[in-house]
Amino acid sequence: MAKASKTRASKQSYISPSQLIIEGFETPFTQKLDATNRWVQLAHRIPWDSIVSIYETQMRNSVTGASHINGRVVLGCIIIKHTCGFSDEETILQIQENMYMQYFIGYSSFSHEVPFDSSLFVEIRKRLGVELLNAINNKIVELSTVVAKKEVSKPERNNAGDNNNPPTQENSNNLTNPPLEEKKQEEEEGITHKGKLLVDATACPQDIAYPTDLNLLNDAREKSEELIDLIYVASLHGEKKPRTYREKAREYYLTTAMKKNKSRKEIRRAIRKQLNYLQRNLSHIERLHQAYKGKTTLDERQQTYLYVIKELYAQQRKMYDEKTHSIEDRIVSIHQPHVRPIVRGKQKSKVEFGAKIQLSLVAGYAFLDVLSWDAFNEGTMLLLAIENYKARMGYYPKEVAADKIYCNRDNRKRLKEMGITLKAKPLGRPKAVETEHVSPGERNPIEGKFGQAKARYGLGRIKARLSETSESWIASIILVLNLVKLAGQVPFCLMVKWMENYLNYRMTKMKCLTFSVDPN
């Protein structure tokens, strides 16, 4: 039997590139947008009016001068970036080339221009902040339960042929009114406990090199040499420049650092030499500063580096003299001094370097309760998560599932007084028949959220450098997790029905639409 030939991706004959002209290339822009596209679906399921109003209010209170960028464009770009895992530059390029992404961020027609320069992402993350992103996240989750109920309970509303009752701005969003009636009914019925709360904590590693004492001292020494070069002025300090022995210091560092197997004695000797070189450089900087009579030639960023280097030297000198490897508020990066070591005790890595967060999971939606650069005991944060649950939902949870570190005696006693069932392993010797033991896999949803956020959306490697931009990065990922959940919550047939009715109404009023969606 003859062997079947492989299917080819393209059977077009080869054409020399010199014969191709861009004017003759066929494009699909004369066609309608595909209603099944993920960006089209997600664009119609996000309560843009509500979340953009929160953003606009924050910008009006904090920004003066020239007008800021459209709120939907900013939030849409942040969502696209973390959903696809793009860099700042790649996000802007993808939006410039993709008409579906431009539709998602609110463009009325395809444009070859970029939304904004990619460097503005840093300023955007500074302006957004954790509080604003959490407010937007809470708003999305609060309004997400309304969509299906409105569409199912009123299927004939906004009928395509009923032009007497056109879809209003309220109807066009389908997410603008929170379920106030449901909350009032629950309050009247006296419901005080309802729902289930999952709580857990994890670390969000920063994108830094693994810190060792020797490498940190070498980085600090090299940065101190740069500061000496900036401060030294021949006309002010004399023709003889302070000696830093930078070539010898680099040689001594590489002699030990490049060894595959290093003994403790060799490492300690190398650390002592780097400490001495760094001490000499800091004394030179102090002496050079005296010639300026209280003034300095360093800018704010360089002064921050100098302060960090001095603090790092003090910490490393103390650990060297006391022969210990632990110190409070230990600096693990001179470029990101806010990063702290978080002891996790995991098999893959016992220590991670970054922020520590606590998430609450309610009905599949994640809430960021705690974000701290210092390690904290999870047991002290359980009651905070419960109070946050009550603030969001209007009642306490009926059940709480948490890791054993949350379930100390004080928390167990407090939850029992509040009438909340704790799904956790009981204290003491295991009983023959477990009655309140957490069932296998009961905490899998929140563990899965962590895995999804780290493997798919970049929570396992935070690439922002500043503390505020890193916090905004983390909060944005939590927001994207909930948007992914929201995108799959509502039956698509109901959303297509609304889209068809709304587009028919718009076409009747405007006679034309640059963007149109095919409901079929």
Residue at 475 is within a domain: no
The tokens for 366 are 């994640």
Q: Are residues 379 and 425 in the same domain?
A: yes
Instruction: Extract the tokens encoding 379.
Output: 């047991």
Task: Identify residue 370 by its one-letter amino acid code.
Answer: V
Q: 94 pLDDT band (50/70/90 cuts)?
A: very high
Write down which residue in 295, 322, 349 finishes a domain: 322
Confidence of residue 433 (pLDDT cuts 50, 70, 90): low
Q: State the pLDDT at residue 514.
A: 47
The boundaries of the domain holding residue 70 are 29-185+485-518
> How far is Cα 260 from Cα 282, in angstroms, rounded to an integer?
31
Q: How far apart are CA 404 and CA 425, in angstroms?
A: 7
Asked if 197 and 345 sit in the same domain, the reply is: yes
Q: What is the pTM assigned to this prediction?
A: 0.80
User: What is the SS3 assignment for 96?
Assistant: helix
Q: Are 130 and 66 in the same domain?
A: yes
Q: Who wins on pLDDT, 112 or 181?
A: 112
Residue 231 and residue 110 share a domain: no
The tens digit of pLDDT for each residue in 20-57 reads 566 666 666 677 888 888 899 888 888 888 888 888 88
In a domain, 329, yes or no: no
24 located within any domain = no
* DSSP helix/strand/coil, 201: strand
Highest mean pLDDT among 64-68, 125-129, 256-260: 256-260
Considering the domain architecture, whether residues 296 and 388 belong to the same structural domain is answered as no
Report DSSP letters for 415-470, one per residue.
HHHHT-EEESPPSSSPPSS-SSPPPTTTTHHHHHHHHHHHHHSSTTSB---SHHHH
Tell me the C-alpha distance between 320 and 374, whole Å: 23
Provide mean pLDDT across the span 153-165. 41
Note the pLDDT tens digit of each residue in 305-349: 999 999 999 999 999 999 998 899 999 999 999 999 998 877 777
Q: Does a structural domain hold residue 9?
A: no
One domain for residues 438 and 384: yes
Report the pLDDT averaged over residues 434-439: 59
Residue 159: per-residue pLDDT? 41
Based on the fold, state whether residues 443 and 510 are members of the same structural domain: no
In a domain, 404, yes or no: yes
Is residue 73 very low, low, confident or very high in pLDDT (cuts 50, 70, 90)?
A: very high
Name the pLDDT band for 438 (thresholds 50, 70, 90): low
* Cα separation, 134 vs 386, whole angstroms: 17
Under the banding of pLDDT at 50, 70 and 90, the label for residue 500 is low
Calculate the alpha carbon distances from 329 to 182, 202, 203, 314, 343 in Å. Answer: 47, 19, 17, 12, 13
pLDDT for the residue numbered 461: 92
Tokens found for residue 11: 């059977």
202 and 235 belong to one structural domain: no
Residue 281's pLDDT is: 95
Continuous H helices in 297-350:
300-322
pLDDT value at residue 178: 42
pLDDT value for 171: 40
The arithmetic mean of pLDDT across residues 498-515, rounded, is 52
519 contacts 35 by C-beta, under 8 angstroms: yes
Q: d(Cα 143, Cα 365) in Å, to the nearest integer?
A: 12
Domain-embedded: residue 53: yes
Interior angle at CA 122, CA 121 and CA 127, nearest 5: 95
Taking the CA atoms of the chain, what radius of gyration do you get in angstroms? Answer: 29
Where residue 261 falls among pLDDT bands split at 50, 70, 90?
Answer: very high
H helix count then E strand count, the chain: 19, 8
Provide the domain count of the chain. 3
pLDDT band, very low/low/confident/very high, at 275 (cuts 50, 70, 90)? very high
Residue 241 has pLDDT above 70, yes or no: yes
| Of 289, 322, 355, the domain-final residue | 322
pLDDT at 491: 46
Give pLDDT, residue 58. Answer: 77
- Do both 198 and 259 map to the same domain? no
For 1, counting Cβ atoms within 10 Å of its Cβ (0-12 exposed, 13-18 middle, 19+ buried), the class is exposed
pLDDT tens digit sequence for 375-414:
999 999 999 999 999 988 888 999 999 988 998 999 999 9
Q: In 3D, which of 209, 200, 206, 210 has the Cα closest to residue 451?
A: 200
User: In this structure, are 237 and 317 located in the same domain?
Assistant: yes
- Low-confidence winner among 89-103, 351-365, 410-424, 496-510 (lowest mean pLDDT): 496-510
Residues 361 and 438 placed together within one structural domain of the fold:
yes
Decide if 306 contacts 284 (C-beta within 8 A): no
CATH of the domain at 400: 3.30.420.10
- Residue 244 inside a domain? The answer is yes
The answer on 435 and 358 residing in a single domain is yes
Q: Which amino acid is at 362?
A: V
Q: Is residue 8 part of a domain?
A: no
Neighbours of 324 (CB within 10 A): 9
